[in-house]
Amino acid sequence: MFRSSSILIISIFILLSLGKTSALFNARIPCYDCTIFPLESPWNNYYTESVPLAARVISMRHLTVKAGARPCVPSVSYGFNGANAWVDLGCKATFQICYVEGNTREVSCESRSGRQATCSIGDPPCQKLESVTIVRARSNLPCVRGFSYQADRSLIKVSKGCRAVFRIGCLVCRNR
């Protein structure tokens, strides 16, 4: 027992140290892929972009930093949220971004006078809901997941004055 678990741990360490994480993720996350993706923070400002074919980004690391750019620091000057990758503070780099395959949809949903509203996320419903992010808030009242909005594979429900455009990430496995 000790020998087989030691071999497994050593194998995982070797895969991670070589950057060969796709075999490890494929065993646990269906419909997983990676891409090389350049991003630049214009004039040291925040910039976000949807990752093509992604329902949810699961990892991001910089491969090369553009000459003359400011340092790229994870969670400070670059990161991800839902199916989007972002850069800030002058970070200009090429990234390896790994993601769960799928597509995104934008859905507008508004709670008027504090009443609950239910909005369809489109047809067909998601095979599996992978991510929900707010693209644009349309109210002064906050939209907080679990408090003033919730989502499942076919609906978004908003309440307490939450009005926003949401980006929904749906799992869609590509044929390989």
**Predicted confidence (pLDDT) per residue in 105-162, tens digit:** 999 999 999 999 999 998 888 989 999 999 999 999 999 999 999 999 999 999 999 9
Q: How far apart are CA 62 and CA 130, in angstroms?
A: 24
Cα-based distances in Å from 19 to 22, 32, 63, 96, 107:
8, 15, 11, 11, 37
Cα-based distances in Å from 56 to 18, 25, 101, 170:
24, 14, 7, 8
User: Is the bond leading into 52 cis (omega within 30 degrees of zero)?
Assistant: no
Higher-confidence position of 9 and 113: 113
E strand spans, 1-128 = 32-40, 47-50, 54-65, 78-81, 84-87, 92-110, 117-120
Q: Against a cut of 0.85, is the pTM above it?
A: no
Q: How far apart are CA 84 and CA 35, in angstroms?
A: 13
Q: What is the mean pLDDT of the chain?
A: 86
Angle among Cα 102, 57, 37 to the nearest 5 degrees reads: 95
- Give the three-class secondary structure for 17: helix
Choose the weakest-confidence range: 5-9, 38-42, 135-139. 5-9
Cα-based distances in Å from 88 to 31, 36, 40:
29, 18, 8
Strand partners for 95: 37, 62
- Residue 122 CA from chain centroid, whole number: 20
What totals of helices (H) and strands (E) does the chain contain, helices first? 2, 11
Q: How far apart are CA 67 and CA 163, in angstroms?
A: 42
